[in-house]
Amino acid sequence: MPKINVHVPVGPNGEELVEPGQLRAVYSGSREVLRRLGKLASVVTQIRVEFVCRSHTPGVYGPAFQVYCVDQVGKESWHGASWEFMGPRGTRSKNPTPSAKRIADRLCEESCLPYFIRGLLTRGAKELARTNTTSKDLGKTDGFRLESSDPQKDVDFFAADSREGALALVAGALNIPHPMTEEAFLAAGGKAVYANFTNQIFPPAKVTTVT
């Protein structure tokens, strides 16, 4: 699950300079962004929010978003948007306290995060193909992602030459026997292992059949 990190400015006496309603809107809007992105959200690692005060809004703080994503070769990039462009259809706004819906509407516009993420994955796929072609004499390597059940722990990105090679590395990192069982993996704090960072390979993804 991507992290939502909000940095709240404080005054000289330690008081928060942001209203509780602003914080609720930011958290709700960020969660809604991830929901709307659907499968594209799988490459999002973090939504970072800072409240900034502009010269034309002295003493008033509004949210600025940085959405961090990782491509198929593990390269992280971010795309940003601030409250000033959260008017209707991405127009400029004079309201530094956008609602959760306005936040999600702006960040999920096709010209914003969806466009950025698709471009990132296109470039990542090309770079992965180039790297594999260049290093074919050394053996094929793929990108993998290990998620922990602890939301406070960072996601691990690594390369391996096969699925079994990747699972062996995971077992070593978690200090459990290999071949590892699903029970041992979960008990050691693992949540899931992904190939090419998006396709779950362990534990086997459960498929629900509707009859």
User: Tens digits of per-residue pLDDT, 88-142?
Assistant: 765 677 788 999 999 999 999 999 999 999 999 999 888 887 776 665 544 455 7
pTM: 0.62
Q: What value, to the nearest 5°, has the Cα angle with vertex 98 and ends 96 and 104? A: 140
Domain annotation covers residue 41: yes
Domain annotation covers residue 136: no
Element (H, E) at 159: strand 156-160
| Segments forming the whole domain that contains residue 22 | 3-119
Shared-domain flag, residues 27 and 96: yes
Domain annotation covers residue 126: no
User: What is the mean predicted confidence (pLDDT) over 182-209?
Assistant: 84
Shared-domain flag, residues 146 and 113: no
pLDDT band for position 198 (50/70/90)? confident
Phi, psi (rounded to 5 degrees) for 147: -105, 140
Q: Is 31 exposed, middle or buried (0-12, 13-18, 19+ CB in 10 A)?
A: middle
Shared-domain flag, residues 148 and 82: no
Distances (CA, A) of 190 to 149, 154, 171: 6, 12, 10
Shared-domain flag, residues 103 and 162: no
Domain annotation covers residue 124: no
Phi, psi (rounded to 5 degrees) for 115: -65, -45
Burial 115-128 (b: 16+ CB within 10 A, else e): ebbeebbeebeeeb
DSSP 3-state assignment of 86? coil
> pLDDT (tens digit, 9 = 90+) per residue, 43-90?
999 999 999 987 766 778 999 999 999 998 889 999 999 998 887 765
Domain count, the chain: 2
Shared-domain flag, residues 8 and 107: yes
Cβ proximity of 103 and 27 under 8 Å = no
Shared-domain flag, residues 204 and 160: yes
